[in-house]
A and B are shown apart, each in its own frame.
Chain A
Amino acid sequence: MSLQDVLNVTKILLQYLLPTLKIFGLTLLFSIPLGMVVAVLRRIRFWLVAKPVGFYILIMRGTPLMLQIITVYYAIPMLSQNSFPFLEHLLSFVDTRSNSYQFNALLVAFVLNYAAYFAEIFRGGIESIPQGQYEAAFSLGMTKMQTFFRIILPQVVKRILPASANEVITLVKDTSLASVIAYAEIFRKAREQMVTYSSLAPLFIAGVFYFVLNAVLTVLFSAAEKKLDYYQ
């Protein structure tokens, strides 16, 4: 490939940076709050909550994300067309022929998967805070809300930052899995260009994109960790 080809491919891939970032950003936006909810649910001992939540986390972490993406993408149309009327009704709001269906299915799979990982990180973080912190806040007359938001959460954030950074960096790379259902993002396009040019170079160029994104994220996370370095 000539330098001109490299520039051309780069230009093309750059156009698909936005779809990649869209998966990345929206997955974070939804999976972090959902993960918090799941982390809270996970602390409930009542079996009717504990078992399904435990099962959900087990499946999400125990099977490949690629499999989950394919399942969501193909299962919803199947379920909403030729199964029980109940499910059909439930899923009728999903228009599987609409333009946004592909992306929505993708997002559902990513969010469900990442929420499970974040939930485990949050749970570990919350459980690592010593009981004495709760007792001190309680004996000072603080409410449960005040205790959580003023005392517990800030300490949890510091403790889970390194593990969360790992997740976020993995997510950047995992966006490439969207190509499995032919969603047009960087990786998908790079593979097309690979065929066009009969060269591996487009894939390497895509690799540079992911690398640069993660370099930026790593710097941001290091800065955040440094900022919280003032104690302990």
Chain B
Amino acid sequence: MAMLTVSHLSKAFGENPVLEDISFTVDQGEVIAVIGPSGSGKSTLLRCINQLETADGGEITVCELPLVRTENGKAVYPDKQTLREIRLKIGLVFQNFHLFPHMSVMQNIIEAPLRVLKQSREEAVATATELLRKMDLSEKADAYPCELSGGQQQRVSIARALALKPEILFFDEPTSALDPELTGEILKVIRELAKEKMTMVIVTHEMAFAREVADRVIFMDGGVIVEQGTPEQVFGNTQSERTRQFLRRYHSE
């Protein structure tokens, strides 16, 4: 079952086209890695799907709910209620975590379940406690974000997103703001989520990780999808010269 369908998506900032004719699907339980050089539009793609940017044209469907359609050449969005419903099916993990600094780890995680899903406190705390255990952060429940390492903060932000039980989880370079020795702990968490068949779309510069954990890899450059396929296809049997150049640069670094 397709959890996410993007077809012919386009987006420009002013005169500057950033996404052009982007099409792909994500099936339930799939892990998609999005790779590509800086400025190729990876973040913008994620932000369009997460309603942080509005698309100019094309279609996005999330769990059978149309997020955007194009009618007479104009992008059309549904009503506020539907947009919110769609938003709750999607979790987003930011590069810079964006935890709420004035709230403890526990409060960060239970805030949305309490106020958005109107869960009881017991239920929200129980879910959060379980998530913290999974993230190996049980003893940090009462800590504040500023007291945590970058890796720990990122794990809290993953737990915060998971607490709403999203159907799909998006990551925008979840390890890029971390010291190299801390990236491992985040990759481990994502690996475990993949084992549990969590549907995920991960923008990453960790090529080895993308190759290992992804079911499919999407290579973007200049606002278009240049190549997509299994890791074996994209990394092992590269079709496009642009992809090859990009991967070569990565290997030489």
Contacts and interface: CB of A to CB of B under 8 A. Distances in A.
Contacts, number: 60
A133 B101 CA distance: 9
B109 to A, nearest CB: 10
A130 B101 CA distance: 11
- By secondary structure, the A interface counts as helix
8 contacts: A132-B94, A136-B99, A139-B51, A140-B164, A141-B112, A141-B117, A141-B164, A155-B101
A139 B84 contact: no
B87 A141 contact: yes
B111 A135 contact: no
Q: Which of under 10, 10 to 19, 20 to 34, or 35 or more describes the interface residues of B?
A: 20 to 34
A142 B100 contact: no
Given A158-B102, A231-B146, A140 B90 contact: no
Q: Which residue of A130, A141, A150, A231 has the most chain B CB atoms within 10 A of its CB atom?
A: A141
B112 A135 contact: no
Nearest to A146: B115
A136 B88 CA distance: 12
Contacts of B160: 140
B92 A139 contact: yes
B121 interface: no
Interface of B: 50-52, 84, 87-88, 90-92, 94, 96, 98-102, 111-112, 115-117, 144-146, 157, 160-161, 164
A154 B102 contact: yes
A121 to B, nearest CB: 19
Nearest to A133: B98
Contact of A132 (B84, B90, B98, B112): B98
B102 A231 contact: yes
Contacts of A231: 101-102, 144-146
Nearest to A130: B98
Q: Which of under 10, 10 to 19, 20 to 34, or 35 or more describes the interface residues of A?
A: 20 to 34
A141 B82 CA distance: 12
Contact of A141 (B52, B116, B157): B116
A123 B157 CA distance: 28
Nearest to B88: A141
Given A150-B111, A231-B144, A231-B145, A139 B90 contact: yes
A135 B52 contact: yes
A53 interface: no
Interface in A126-165: 130, 132-133, 135-142, 146, 150-151, 154-155, 158
A140 B101 contact: no
Contacts of A151: 100
